[in-house]
Structure 1
Amino acid sequence: MSDTHNDVIETLRQQQVDAIEGQSKAAMSALAEWQKGVAAFVASAAPAGKTPEGLPEPQSMLTDYFRFAEQVLASQYEFALALLKPQSAGSGAGRS
């Protein structure tokens, strides 16, 4: 493979990493905002040191968070596959 092809491949890889990092930052930002909202609710709805009724159990919150993380990862996987489609369609041309 020539240096030009290697450069193109490296550029595409870096673009994918940048896109995934952007998605991850967006997810973390959303989680941070959610956490602030929950903290404000708990602080305003409960006496000091007590958890208000109706607040989800920690196990449930953890399960929900990891389901969310699975969705983010699945989205990143689909994005990576979509990046390969144009390359795959073009790489098969002229081959027998």
Structure 2
Amino acid sequence: MLLEKIKTPGLSHLSYLVGSGGQAAVIDPRRDCAIYVEKARAAGLEITHIFETHRNEDLVSGAPILAAMTGATVLHGLIQSNLLSTLRPHVMVIAFQLANWKSTS
């Protein structure tokens, strides 16, 4: 199992890479996304999910960039998802499983 905190230099921003069983998720990615791909590959993991836990008015999310790089599904918090689905009907709220962890988002 991998759980790594990743600090963005010069910013008050933390993101996380979590993985097990060949799959990984990135929580609140920064725009410079190569670090996640490199760390996941080094651990033998494929990034399959990206979580945005909240809106961040002072930081541009790396979720779209990382999703384009990996094909991972982007998941948003429930309140944000409800708002986004009103504005963008294609946003999905789905259940996911990462190794032995199960959750519904």
TM class, shorter-chain normalised? under 0.3
Q: Per residue, is there more strand in 1 or in 2? A: 2
Larger Rg: 1
Say which structure, 1 or 2, has more relative contact order (CA 8 Å, 6+ apart): 1
TM-score (norm 1): 0.23
Q: Per residue, is there more helix in 1 or in 2? A: 1
